[in-house]
Amino acid sequence: MSRQAEIAAAVPVMRRERRLSWAWLGVGPFFLFALLFLILPTLDLVIGAFQTPDGSFTLDNLARLNQPTIVSAYLISVQVSIASALLGAAAGFFIAYAVVLGKLPKFLRPFVTTFSGVASQFAGIPLAFAFLATLGPTGLVTAWLDQYLGISLRALGFNILSFWGLTITYLYFQIPLMILILMPALDGLRKEWREAASILGASPWQYWRYVALPVLWPSLLGATILLFANAFGAVATAYALTGSSLNIVPILLYAQIRGDVLHDPHLGYALALGMIVITGLANIGYIWLRQRSERWLK
Amino acid sequence: MGFLDLEGVQKVYGQNTVVQNFNLSIARGEFVSFLGPSGCGKTTTLRMIAGFEVPTAGTIRIDGRDVTDLKPNQRNVGMVFQSYALFPNLTAAENVAFGLRVAGQPREAIRKRVEEMLSIIKLPQLGDRYPYQLSGGQQQRVALARALAVSPAVLLLDEPLSALDAKIRVSLRQEIRSLQRELGITTVYVTHDQEEALSMSDRIVVMSEGRMEQVGTPFDIYNYPATRFVASFVGTLNIMDAKIVDPLSGRLAIDGQEVVSTRGMNGVRAGETRPIALRPEAITIDGGGDDRNRMEGTIEEVAFLGAVVRIRVRFGENAVWLDTFNNPGVAPPARGSKATVSFGRSDLLLLEAEAR
Amino acid sequence: MKSSRFAPWLAIALGAIYFIVPLVATFEFSLRKRRGEYSFDAYAWVFADQRFIESFTYSTVVAIVTIAVGVLLVVPTAYTIRVRLPRLRPVVEFITLMPLVIPAIIIVFGYLRLYNSSSWLPLTSSRRATDLLLVFSYATLALPYMYRAVDTGMRAIDARTLTEAAQSLGASWLTIILRVILPNVRVALLSGAFLTFAIVIGEFTMASLLDRPAFGPYMQNIGANRAYEPSALAVIAFVVTWACMGLIQLFGRGRRFTAIE
């Protein structure tokens, strides 16, 4: 090859590389940020969970998780998260279905969308206040039920500071989140699929069983996992609702970090690792289920 | 009474009459096309036969049974959609099996039938593919197999080819037609493509604004359009202004050149100007005996379309498109050159005054 | 046909009851401060409280800085991924979804361990540095929403074609981003910004654990110590959130916008 030809061949390559490095400049800060403020802090906790205070390897921190308070905290946390995720998914599905496919007046949809946007972000401290004012001991609904229907929530054993109290409160942001995720997914169900199924002799139920639900499955599954993680990591609502009185993991961890309880950071790391493992398992489960059922996805 | 009967069928949405007074009797095994522009009511009529829309008035009968108020899943009708509408979560074979499966047929019977259907549509080896792994043409064949697998009494096709490439469109329409003949299945085919309707159908229903304009064989529809709409919608039509010279002998003048029409000229007065229609394929360049009309003009445009060369000739105010076959030995005429064209005396079609 | 609409209406009605009753109850409760009659005393108390003004101002400033950081971080990334490095898309999308799955408390706990006063990057050693860390933590929380909003906007305008068109007219990269891309994704950016604001303004966990005087910890403090004022705060917070979402709708005129697709 002549020298000129070599140069000619090299020029586009150089230009290409220079332009690519510019491209990396565009994403570089993002990756650096993600590394510093998302990935490293999380990894560091994981490492901390396997370390003694002086830095040597140990499994002792994890072993210490096996005490009744902590085990029951994990149990209640997982139960509340599963309950609020499943109930939220079901309720969110029905409302999204009603709005998108229920042949209801058109004005309902933007209204439901906006409200869901608000309610899905209306979490944390103010939400707890709202439910205390509603279902708390002196709450409006509590009073109404007692006054007009003679139902005493207290006598029924209901307490806003309990498993069901927390679940009902969490649903206030879980349901709207589900609606927001599912509405586009329901839009994706083509009218022709239903028509094709029905003209092939399928009942509406068979259409849902064999076509619509399998098509929606990835969205439903993904959204439910998201709802689970959402509830599992929620601190503010539970803390403002119950103080430290309800024994769930995020509250336990919060107290641990604040040093309210015996100050033992490495037990804290182990607690955090437990949370990461549980949300991680939920996600692995999601990916596994999805891959098993989604061979038809590109 | 035919196999599929529509009697006085009407569909009204609010103030809007989408289909009015639709009467048609389709014989067993017949292939009928509904042809018309979008919004003419052809798809609505098809959807009423399918059961997706309920007629405002009228009766629909399949094989003597009144199905007007039956749900789609009780009608034993097969349908192919423009967008294929294959279930994305099922393989080609599972799609074909769907109707049999929901009918609760035994597994072995389903397997056999699916195999048979896949080989009929010539895709026996692609049963395990998902819709996204198939081309548009392959998807539409699977959709056809799916509709036919349940042995429906009537097959409905809603613009099944309009999403496909031109080449596949032509080959698939021949395939659909031969399959339909083979199975002898009564078929209604909706299209806005006149070529499709003309080439496939036993009979064509031309529709416009919810009305049936004409029902007839492709030959009749094309050569003897009953209304101006049919004349202009079916085929490319040259429309010119002609001055009537003598209604009795059929003489008229186009841009000063006199021609003769042997078609009737009832109620036309001399000196009046009327639109006339002339099909491109009726016109030839040069040639033609004494019994043909001749006109002198200038070649304005030449479009080489492959087998056909489409030429525009201007006479003055008026101009015509004409089609000639490509001849490798002769180059197409040059733009700007003079030309003599000729056409038969019976090819001139006098239209209503407001036509244009 | 009528009967088939009963179930959808029922779903909407039950949903409406569940979502509206707590709002009514909260508002009613917030009016009960004066014994025997309804009044806005609780609101008067809140608005007169110096700590309310201070913490709300603090959170507002943090939210604005967070939005700026988020925009600077997300726009170049989303743009580069769309136009230049599409093969990195799965990685970037995975990262932007992580904050939805890793609880905030874990992330902030990690900060406390990683950036303590004796670490190589002692971001918790001074107040200003901790403010910055809080901003970064919020930028992390808002990342999924911000990225999705901007990426949807980029897709809607077909950033790649626009870029090529601008390049063919001789525009430089900077010009393209500032003059072509940014104005066209303005609506998406505003959506992301208001959503970020709604998230940041009442956030509790991170502000509390980083010990910053934000609105979230203030509300918690009032909740632990007073009776009617918390309801007034909840109503105020709800109005602020509603205003943010309303503004998103307003700027998104006609376009359907959802936080998560």
Q: What percent of chain A has pLDDT over 70?
A: 89
What pLDDT, on a 0 to 100 scale, did the predictor assign at position C2? 42
Residue B115 clears pLDDT 60, i.e. is over it = yes
Q: What is the 8-class DSSP label of residue C185?
A: T
> What is the distance between the alpha carbons of residues C216 and C205, in angstroms, rounded to a whole number?
8
- Which of B230-239, B260-269, C106-115 is predicted most confidently? C106-115
Phi, psi of B51 (to 5 degrees): 100, 5
Please give the mean pLDDT across all residues of chain B: 89
The one-letter code for the residue type at B72 is P
Q: Is A29 in contact with C73 (Cβ distance < 8 A)?
A: yes
Per-window interface: A 258-297 vs B, CB < 8 A: 295-296
3-class secondary structure per residue, chain B: CCCEEEEEEEEEECCEEEEEEEEEEECCCCEEEEECCCCCCHHHHHHHHHCCCCCCEEEEEECCEECCCCCHHHCCEEEECCCCCCCCCCCHHHHHHHHHHHCCCCHHHHHHHHHHHHHHCCCHHHCCCCHHHCCHHHHHHHHHHHHHHCCCCEEEEECCCCCCCHHHHHHHHHHHHHHHHHHCCEEEEEECCHHHHHHHCCEEEEEECCEEEEEECHHHHHHCCCCHHHHHHCCCCEEEEEEEEECCCCEEEECCEEEECCCCCCCCCCCCEEEEEECHHHEEECCCCCCCEEEEEEEEEEEECCCEEEEEEECCCCEEEEEEECCCCCCCCCCCCEEEEEECCCCCEECCCCCC
Residue C257 clears pLDDT 50, i.e. is over it = no
Q: What percent of chain B has pLDDT over 70?
A: 98
B157-210 per-position pLDDT tens digit: 999 998 888 888 999 999 999 999 999 999 999 999 999 999 999 999 999 999
Residue B23 · residue B7 · CB < 8 Å: yes
Integer CA distances (angstroms), B303 to B311, B313, B333, C73, in order:
6, 12, 11, 55
C3 confidence band (pLDDT: 50, 70, 90): very low
B116-172 per-position pLDDT tens digit: 999 999 899 999 999 999 999 999 999 999 999 999 999 999 999 988 888 889 999
Name the minimum distance, in Å, from the CA of A198 to any CA of chain B: 5
Instruction: Locate A52 and state its tokens.
Output: 């003694």
Residue B60 · residue B19 · CB < 8 Å: no
Q: Maximum Cα–Cα distance for chain B, whole Å?
A: 78
What pLDDT, on a 0 to 100 scale, did the predictor assign at position B354? 52
> What is the distance between the alpha carbons of residues B320 and B355, in angstroms, rounded to a whole number?
17
Instruction: Locate C244 and state its tokens.
Output: 């943010």
Please, what sign has the CA dihedral across residues C149, C151, C156, C157?
positive
Q: Which helix (H) or strand (E) holds A141?
A: helix A140-144
Closest CA to B200 of B239, B160, B231: B160
Q: Is C4 in contact with A103 (Cβ distance < 8 A)?
A: yes
- Interface membership of C94 toward A (CB under 8 Å): no
Which chain A residue has its CA at the smallest distance from C218's CA? A125
> What is the distance between the alpha carbons of residues C146 and C249, in angstroms, rounded to a whole number?
16
Nearest 5 degrees, angle CA A207-CA B172-CA B154? 50
Residue A17 clears pLDDT 60, i.e. is over it = no
Residue B147 · residue B155 · CB < 8 Å: yes
Q: Is A45 in contact with C79 (Cβ distance < 8 A)?
A: no
What pLDDT, on a 0 to 100 scale, did the predictor assign at position B266? 73
Phi, psi of B214 (to 5 degrees): -160, 145
A53-86 per-position pLDDT tens digit: 888 888 888 888 888 989 999 999 999 999 999 9
Give the N- to C-terminal CA distance of chain A in Å, as an integer: 44
Q: Is A210 in contact with B51 (Cβ distance < 8 A)?
A: no
Per-window interface: A 152-181 vs C, CB < 8 A: 171-172, 175, 177, 180-181
What pLDDT, on a 0 to 100 scale, did the predictor assign at position C86? 85
Give B-chain residues touching A197 at CB under 8 angstroms. 87, 98, 102
- Interface membership of A192 toward B (CB under 8 Å): yes
A2 confidence band (pLDDT: 50, 70, 90): low
What pLDDT, on a 0 to 100 scale, did the predictor assign at position C65? 95
Within 8 A by CB and 6+ apart from A256, the residues are A263, A264, A265, A267, A268, A271
Residue A115 · residue C249 · CB < 8 Å: no
C261 confidence band (pLDDT: 50, 70, 90): very low
10 Å CB burial of residue A132 (0-12, 13-18, 19+) is buried
A169 confidence band (pLDDT: 50, 70, 90): very high
Name the minimum distance, in Å, from the CA of A214 to any CA of chain B: 7
Residue A3 clears pLDDT 60, i.e. is over it = no
Residue A295 clears pLDDT 70, i.e. is over it = no
- Interface membership of B353 toward A (CB under 8 Å): no
- Interface membership of B153 toward A (CB under 8 Å): no
Q: Cβ of C13: how many Cβ atoms within 10 Å?
A: 11
Q: What is the 8-class DSSP label of residue A62?
A: H
The number of C-beta contacts closer than 8 angstroms across A and C is: 268
Closest CA to C10 of A144, A186, A97: A97
Q: What is the 8-class DSSP label of residue A259?
A: T
Strand partners, A214: none
Residues B2-31: what's their mean pLDDT? Answer: 93
Residue C217 clears pLDDT 70, i.e. is over it = yes
Q: Is the model more confident about B264 or about B68?
A: B68
Which chain A residue has its CA at the smallest distance from C116's CA? A41
What pLDDT, on a 0 to 100 scale, did the predictor assign at position A19? 59
Please give the mean pLDDT across all residues of chain C: 86
Q: pTM of the entire structure?
A: 0.82
Q: Is the model more confident about B27 or about B232?
A: B27
